[in-house]
Structure 1
């Protein structure tokens, strides 16, 4: 396996596909998945001449399952170490869901000296949790339910989660058993402790200050029928903070649009990168 070792001794697995002299595109996955969630995008963009990289977040996929430091700051620092150890520059950062939070926190903590553009896809910033200052967020009960479902019967919970994740509970949806099984497989590769910690990381991390530091072209892409990360409290709030951000809304699209709308998404992301 291809890994880097972080300063705290954690091994982070990553894939590195395409020409080594191509502009690097780094893909950060959502919860509770792994780098495998980006395979189709990695092949597509590698065939376009880009160097495509995706890593398994700590305690997810093939990376080390650690007891501590499963938090957004550390996720961002792990991404930073990956970029630095591979000596990547002029990077395109693409983050989906929790991965969008990871990418956003990276910019907040490490700046954009090595980054050319950012794409936030169905991403959790600026804040998922409902608070007095964030009335459009989701109540803590929602995330407590995710914690309980994951702890009590993780396998069944992940299977059930695929239904709203991919919009399979909507009329006329074309349900793919293979997509559902692949989501389950990736989720079950991760460690329970790290996945439970990650629920707090993606739901309670406040990214307002991180987003205010964005100074590069940013694509914010979201489905307006996203049942996991509602668009009003996320994408539509993000573009009010990030200067010159471009918001692209997929009408009727779900949270897993990188798969359910794969060809359209790949083309739109390519247009953004080349533009």
Structure 2
């Protein structure tokens, strides 16, 4: 575990365990590297080097007042990979982290990268526009910002207790431990970073980024994702990528790397070994 300091002075916290081919994990909003616990331990035990960082303004990284956009997220990831001199790396991103991975590959190139996987990821574009009629109305994301500003702690309790993990679905057993861990991670981060991050994950258009990527990409998405709707994300991204494999999970929620870790880990491992 350690930190790096970017050229502008932002401190990025990261974990780096094991040896072997590196897997770099990019977490979702508004969480931290801890959200990858189930994957980090699994792939460490399978002989991989596992690395995960806290995005700027999240977790244990510093909380600057600005720079909470996809360009900075991708540049911070590039700074980390350069600092660790990673080669033949596999990048895995969940939700907003999927956007971070896509933008990193397009913005910084693939010379250090072997493969990538994006899980429940936000690309190509979440917000509804004339060019993206299947997106969610901007009012939805404005509402997220309003709830965050009004009572961030309550908002961060309601999301995991409801749609994030599908605990609001009939017959789904809720987990208080998972809800509290989501809340814990989120409250460690900064309100300003999280407020701005809603714009970053919802309004960034990754269409051209996706077209540039040539490495194999596994696109994993649940068809009952209530946060990033499946039809306007995974299906469209798969068509834009040059070398994509789509895996659709019937009934799985947005937070499936946690609630369905066994399935996700096994499928990721098969993709990495292929």
Q: TM-score, normalised by structure 2?
A: 0.99
Distance in 2 (alpha carbons) for counterparts of 1:119 and 1:140: 27
1:270 maps to 2:269: yes
| Residue of structure 2 equivalent to 1:209 | 208
- Of residues 9, 16, 28, the one that matches 1:30 is 28
Partner of 1:195: 194
Q: Is the 8 A contact 1:225 1:254 kept in 2?
A: yes
What's the counterpart of residue 7 of structure 1?
A: 7
- Aligned residue number for residue 85 of structure 2: 87
Matches of 1:260 and 1:274, distance apart in 2: 23
Q: Does 1:259 align with 2:273?
A: no
- Superposed, 1:34-73 pairs within 5 Å as 34-73=32-71
Secondary structure in 1 matching 2:232:
coil
1:96-138 residue CA offsets vs partner (Å, 9 max, x unmatched) = 0000000000011011110000100000000001000000100
Deviations 1:168-208 (A, max 9, x none): 01111011000000000000000000110100000000000
Shift in Å, 1:244: 2.5
SS in 1 for 2:171: coil
- Structure 2: distance between partners of 1:160 and 1:29: 19
Rounded to whole Å, the distance in 2 between the matches of 1:248 and 1:107 is 21
What is the root-mean-square deviation in Å for CA atoms of aligned residues? 0.6
Secondary structure in structure 2 of the residue aligned to 1:131: coil
What are structure 1's unaligned runs of at least 5 residues? none
In 2, Cα distance between equivalents of 1:77 and 1:47: 30
Q: Using the alignment, how far apart are the partners of 1:73 and 1:233 within structure 2?
A: 23
Q: Deviations over 1:66-94 (max 9, x none)?
A: 10111100000000000000000100000
Separation of aligned partners in 2, 1:244 and 1:217: 5
In 2, Cα distance between equivalents of 1:30 and 1:250: 19
Alignment-derived partner of residue 142 in structure 1: 140
TM-score by length of 1: 0.98
Quote the Cα distance in structure 2 between the aligned partners of 1:172 and 1:68: 42
The equivalent residue for 1:102 is 100
Whether 2:160 is the aligned partner of 1:164: answer no
4+ residue segments displaced more than 2 Å: none
Contact 1:17 1:43 in 2 (8 A): no
Distance in 1, Cα, partners of 2:238 & 2:156 = 31
Residue aligned with 2:252, SS: coil
Tell me which residue corresponds to 1:227: 226
Gaps of 5+ in 2: none
1:18 shift after superposition? 1.5
Q: What is the CA–CA distance in structure 2 between the aligned matches of 1:36 and 1:194, rounded to whole Å?
A: 18
SS of residue paired to 1:247 = strand
Equivalences, count: 273
1:151 aligns with 2:122: no
